[in-house]
Amino acid sequence: MTLPIALDAMGGDFAPGEIVAGARRAVDELGLNVILVGVPELLGDPRGLEVVACSEVIAMDDDPGVSVRKKKDSSLVRAAELVRDNKASAMVSAGNTGATMASALLRMGRLPGVIRPCIATPIPRPNATPMLLVDAGANAECKPEMLVQFAQMASTYVRAHYGVDSPKVGLLSIGEESSKGTPLVKETNQLLAAMSSLNFVGNVEGRDLPAGGTDQGALDVVVCDGFVGNVVLKFYEAVTPMIVGLIQKSCGIEPATLARSLGQLDYSEHGGAPLLGVRGVSIISHGKSSPRAIMNAIKVGVRAVDSGMNNLMTERLAASEQKHQTAEAS
- Interacting residues with a second copy (CB under 8 A): 126, 137, 140-141, 172-174, 180-183, 185, 205-211, 224, 226-228, 230-240, 242-244, 246-247, 249-251, 253, 257-258, 260-262, 264-265
CA distance linking residue 205 with residue 245, whole number of Å: 27
Q: How far is the CB of 330 from a second copy (least distance, A)?
A: 35
First and final CA of the chain: distance in angstroms?
48
Cβ proximity to a second copy: between 4 and 130 the closer is 130
Q: How far is the CB of 318 from a second copy (least distance, A)?
A: 31
Cβ proximity to a second copy: between 55 and 261 the closer is 261
Q: Is 282 exposed, middle or buried (0-12, 13-18, 19+ CB in 10 A)?
A: buried
Cβ proximity to a second copy: between 181 and 277 the closer is 181
CA distance linking residue 298 with residue 203, whole number of Å: 33
Q: How far is the CB of 230 from a second copy (least distance, A)?
A: 4
Q: How far is the CB of 252 from a second copy (least distance, A)?
A: 10
Q: How far is the CB of 235 from a second copy (least distance, A)?
A: 4
Give SS3 for 218.
strand
Cβ proximity to a second copy: between 184 and 191 the closer is 184
CA distance linking residue 330 with residue 323, whole number of Å: 11
Give SS3 for 92.
strand
Q: How far is the CB of 236 from a second copy (least distance, A)?
A: 7
CA distance linking residue 187 with residue 207, whole number of Å: 22
Cβ proximity to a second copy: between 2 and 182 the closer is 182
Q: Report the DSSP beta bridge partners of residue 217.
A: 214
Cβ proximity to a second copy: between 89 and 139 the closer is 139
Q: Is 126 exposed, middle or buried (0-12, 13-18, 19+ CB in 10 A)?
A: exposed
